Structure 1
Amino acid sequence: MVFPNAFLRLFYWIVVLCSTVTFAQQNQALPTSNATAPTSVFFSRPELTPPILNVTISDSNSSGHAPGYVFIAPYQALQSGPYIYDKQGNLIWDGWGASGPSNAHNFHVCNWQGQPHLCFSSENQLLGYGRGQAVILDSNYKTIQSVQIGAGQTQADMHEFQLTDNGTALMTAYDLLPWDLSAQGITSGIGYITSGVFQEINVTSGEVLFSWSSIDHVPISSSYVKPNSTDTSGNGLSVATPYDYFHINAIDKSTTTGNYLVSSRHTSTLYYISSSDGSIIWRLTSSSLSNFTLTNFNFSFQHDGRLISENSTHITLSIFDNASDGYNQTSSYSSGKFIAIDLLAGTATLTSSVSFPDSIVEGGLLVGSQGNTQLLSNSNIFNGWGPYAWATEHDSSGTHVVWAANFAQGVTMNYRAFSFDGWNSTPADSPAMWAYAKTADGSYPLYVYVSWNGATEVASWSFYGSMVAPNKAGYPNTVGDTAQVVLLGSVDKTGFETMFESPEMYPYVLAQAVDGKGTALRNSTWIQAFVPSEALTGACGNTSCNAAMQ
């Protein structure tokens, strides 16, 4: 929305300190400001300060960006949490607080019991991994299910939470183990490692249907990351700093064979795991350990391995090729890659690749952690850029950028970003509203500000006024015994918060949400318009008052 005065904007955008936790480091005080992490402010919901989604490229033609919303979960932000935006940059849902005091990661639309839901991991972050649980929200943004790792393992990690077509969940965990690390030069005593674990879990019962641990199948010598060599490697000397030799970061399940695709950042390898006994059927890596010859590409430190298609002779998959862990690199830029594996010929061929728009950053971005590549239903390619708080969309050819947006710079990060069409919500909560008039005598207009957090079906707002305090919420024909409810007017919805100007002053107002067919959806409660006292009037304008300055 457009702010009526600069002082109010400045008040909410004063520099703040976010004490939070990074993927790499705990308990570090991280400064954010309006310069590095600009936020929105709303009269109707003043407690919310969501990141501004700054859309820099938008092509909405038939061959342009896909329809739908953008799903992100920035952390190390002023208000870390899950958020939904439209592709014009308008906030749809502010989920700050939905993950409790923890960070939210991997926020996406998931299918649960035949209906679209929202899924994410709610995590306390440690040294490159997390401890927490997975959460499923319904279309009212209410938590209906939480999912935990089982079989005596530690809490769930943030890297993966995905629901399968069979209603099970795929989840990761980092299992802390005492270990002999003398081969890694640690001989002063017993060391500690984390083993990359994934499980398939019955969501409702919590039964563990399949469990796999990297240390049972992948030796520590396979790692390209040595103890105490990166910000997430750990030194292996204590339970607080275990050596993360594997760093599991993605799981996918084949709908054809039932086998699993596992991505390991620190071995720079994709593993295809048997669902019957957990054995490694094949490896895809740029080293000599690969079961396939990479004909025209390489990759390293990848994230987000996904199975696209599969039959008895060929597999197509995608990865986000980081090409760097922040300390070592195999390319000057990161990219989303699509790879065709010929199981008979033993070859892997790059079929397409997308990188960060050169028009924004010449030469692309080299992303040392996080990131994802999503193939959309119209064959467009959507990418999240991890520690660089950007999301981009390319057309199906991978050559034309049809959408790009950022929401912070500096310390704010976002593990994965997604685009989904078909998310619809009429929340159980009521619309929120704030009304203002400079004086009570009607010599100035009445301004009403209304929003409905998470609502997707609102096309317009109707506003009603009353001269007498109502005795109940809702929209009756009359209020009390004598006061007649007056329709003040209607306006189209504009962004998250809509402003309405009434030339007539009514001390009590109500807003009604209306859909595109003219059907009333939900009413706000009746509120009393704010009118400043005589002492405050000098600090107020026609549409609002200045914020008090310290």
Structure 2
Amino acid sequence: MQLIKAISLFATLPYVLADWQYLSRPDLSPPRLNITVPAKSTTEDGYIFITAYPGFDPDSVGPLQPGAYIFRDDGDLVWSGISYLAGYIANFGPTVINGKPVLKAAQGLLSGSHGRMYGNQAVLDESYETVKVLRAAGHRLVSVHEFEVVDGGRSVLIETPVPVPFDLGEFGGEEGQEWILSSGFQEIDIETGELLFEWFSLDHISPKYSALPLEPTGPFNSFNSEDAWDYFHLNSAAKDRDGNYLISARNYAAIFKINGTSGEVIWQLGGSHGSDFEVPSNVEFAFQHDARIRYTSENGEIERISFFDNADHSQLEPGHGIGGFSRARYVELNHTAGTVSEIQTFWPPDPLVANSQGNAQFLPGGNVFVNWGQAGAVTEFSQGGEVLFHAYLDSYPNNRVQSYRGFRSAWTGYSGEGVAVLALGDSSGEVAVYVSWNGDTETDVWRFYLVHGETGAERKYLGEKKRTSFETEFHTSLDLSSEAGRVFVVAEALDREGSILGRSRITGLSDRNPYISHLRGESWATEDLLEQGRPEL
């Protein structure tokens, strides 16, 4: 009984022990969401998808395991992708490709000071296995800013920045400053990799009116290709019904519509020069992300778009802020009148400034899910701007955890991993079983059996428990003195119809707990953990 009491006590330990959240999966250390506005009844269905990482502050704490995660509204873990994707992860969430529900994720290396992430785009199936890796046509560099599936899941938009030698004298460049970054994107066929369209900023838009000054020092000093002047910084691309493209240029502080045939600029919104719309003070924006098309009238006169307005400069330079706090925007463009007007602005429930990153997702039921980028939080709003849910991405006091984008979506996952079980028992006959199945969304009930011998030929029903969280804890009492020979435990996962989805390996009862040993400073050898595992039934 003392063992069971000790286990209950551990649930009250502080977050400093976040590296041992699950007894059945001590290898997993996901962020702990700090939910300040619990989900209301009008919050839309679906899981939360984020890619937590520590950001750029050297004093930041957490997450212990950066990577892709799926959470429920109560902060409970659904899936940790720590062993599935490599490096910096972004744009993680569900989509449909060729009629099949899949997960998309960009993975690669992060150069935080440059705001660039080089890598590739991965497609994962419903069991979280990578089924396709997408790369740019022509072996272009791929930055993971964008991974937008278009044309009914047949093609994808990806960002392709290219550093090029360039005479920067007319823009104030000194001797030796001769590199500029030409932001670009490609549309490629997902199945074949064929290049369908390619565009580069330097072919169409002058660096003259960039909102990012050319400086002789810093990460964009232009003295080499890695430090090329990032005058444009494309960070999103979307495709409209006519085959044209909407792009966001952070370092131009402007949004552009691009002709899908010629690549010429159709219109520009914002920026210090060249806007085709008069921007009133209540619609001013700066260093924005995630521009998306929401509506186009039949004759094309009216367009409605959304975007995440960072309202500040990514380099934290004084005097560059607009409006005090970051926000998500929904605006209407009138092409006849040349005006832009506010439909709705979604303000953060706390004073958040996302100096970089961020997105605004319009949900099927009308709510809006906002990820606050570098500010490290997510919020769900009603159409009218009411806060329905708000959470920070970790619970450390000095939390700096952030996510480039975040999403809410329905998802059905079938774990390709084995069911994880830890079974504890002592001489009093008290037994505690801990079971989890990383990524599985379909288990409704866990059923437990006592098994004699390592072959599992005989088994005795112990009971069952409704699954309500990532790890399920089951307690029972046994007269172990009446059980001949060594006994083992097995757990079965049942869906809502009572069908068996999977079962654990045969697991021996142990009177040792790796978590207790960890707290006491005792050793817990690898063979002790391996002793828990037995071949599947």
Instruction: Tell me the TM-score normalised to structure 2 length.
Output: 0.87
Partner of 2:73: 87
1:345 aligns with 337
- In structure 1, give the amino acid aligned to 2:43: H
Aligned to 1:535: none
1:270 maps to 2:248: no
**2:415 corresponds to which residue?**
427
Q: Does 1:454 align with 2:457?
A: no
Give the letter aligned to residue 404 of structure 1: H
**Partner amino acid for 1:315?**
E
Summarize the Cα distance change of 1:65–1:437 in structure 2 as closer, same or farther, 3 Å threshold.
Answer: same
Query: Residues of 2 paired with 1:389 and 1:3: CA distance?
Result: 34
2:7 aligned to which of 1, 4, 11: 4
What SS class does the counterpart of residue 383 from structure 2 fall into?
coil
Letter in 1 for 2:274: L
- Aligned pairs (5 A) from 1:34-73: 41-61=21-41, 64-73=42-51
The answer to whether residue 362 in structure 2 is matched with residue 370 in structure 1 is no
Check conservation: 1:134, 1:147, Cα contact below 8 A. yes
Match of 1:529 in 2: 509
2:221 aligned residue (204, 211, 235): 235
Name the residue aligned to 2:470.
496
1:162 aligns with 2:141: no
Secondary structure in structure 2 of the residue aligned to 1:183: helix
> Is contact 2:419–2:436 with CA below 8 Å preserved after alignment?
yes
Partner of 2:429: 444
Instruction: Work out the CA distance in 2 between the residues paired with 1:184 and 1:434.
Output: 65
Closer, same or farther: CA 405–229 of 1 in aligned 2, 3 Å: farther
Which contiguous aligned blocks of 4+ residues in structure 1 show a shift greater than 6 angstroms? 5-10
Residue 242 (structure 2) aligns with: 257
Aligned equivalent of 1:280, options 265, 278, 281 = 265
Letter aligned with residue 507 of structure 1: V
1:234 and 1:198 mapped to 2: Cα distance? Answer: 20
Residue matched to 2:529: none
Q: Which residue of 2 aligns with 1:97?
A: 83
| Structure 1, unaligned runs of 5 or more | 15-33, 471-478, 533-539
Q: Name the CA shift for 1:356/1:3 in 2 (closer, same or farther; >3 Å).
A: farther
The residue number in structure 2 matching 1:414 is 403
Are 1:438 and 1:544, in contact at CA under 8 Å, matched by a contact in 2?
Answer: no
Aligned pair count? 491
* Mapping of residues 316-355 of structure 1, within 5 Å: 316-325=304-313, 326-327=316-317, 328-355=320-347
Secondary structure, counterpart of 1:547 in structure 2: helix
Q: Secondary structure at the match of 1:4?
A: helix
* CA pair 3-404 structure 1, distance change in 2 beyond 3 A: farther
Deviates more, 1:245-254 or 1:185-194: 185-194
TM-score normalised by length of structure 1:
0.85
Are the aligned partners of 1:81 and 1:98 in contact in 2 as well (CA < 8 Å)?
A: no
1:41 is matched by which residue type in structure 2?
Q
Whole-Å Cα distance in 2 between the matches of residues 151 and 520 of structure 1? Answer: 47
Residues 39 and 51, structure 1, Cα contact 8 Å, conserved in 2: no
How many Å apart are 1:47 and its aligned residue?
0.8
2:98–2:153 CA contact under 8 A, matched in 1: no
The aligned counterpart of 1:19 is none
Matched AA of 2:473: M
Look up the SS of the partner of 1:73 in the other structure.
strand
Matching residue of 1:403: 389
Alignment of 1:292-331 (within 5 A): 292-295=277-280, 296-311=282-297, 312-325=300-313, 326-327=316-317, 328-331=320-323
Structure 1 residue identity aligned to 2:93:
H
CA 299–190 in structure 1, closer or farther in 2 if over 3 Å, else same: closer
> Which of 447, 459, 463 is matched with 1:485 structurally?
459
User: Distance in 2 between the 1:450 and 1:228 partners?
Assistant: 56
CA distance in 2, matches of 1:230, 1:88: 46
Relative distance call for 1:8 and 1:60 in structure 2 (3 A) is closer
In angstroms, what is the RMSD of aligned CA positions?
2.3
1:4 Cα shift?
Answer: 2.4
CA positional deviation for 1:546: 5.0
Counterpart Cα distance in 2 of 1:131 and 1:67: 33
TM-fit CA distance, 1:190: 5.0
Residue in 1 that maps onto 2:163: 176
Give, in whole Å, the separation in 2 of the partners of 1:273 and 1:356: 31
Aligned residue for 1:23? Answer: none
Aligned to 1:75: 53
Q: Are the equivalent residues in 2 in contact too, given 1:436–1:544 (CA < 8 A)? A: no
- Alignment check: 8 A CA contact 2:39 2:73 kept: no
Instruction: Give 1:178 shift.
Output: 1.6
Q: Aligned-pair distance for 1:289? A: 1.3
Relative to total residues, which structure has the larger helix share, 1 or 2?
2
Indicate the SS of the match to 1:221.
helix
Which deviations, in whole Å up to 9, do the C-alpha atoms of 1:519-540 show, x marking residues without a partner? 22111111112223xxxxxxx7
Q: Which amino acid aligns with 2:206?
A: P
What residue number does 1:225 align with? 212
Contact map agreement 1:39 1:52 (CA 8 A) in 2: no
Q: Distance in 1 between matches of 2:158 and 2:228?
A: 21
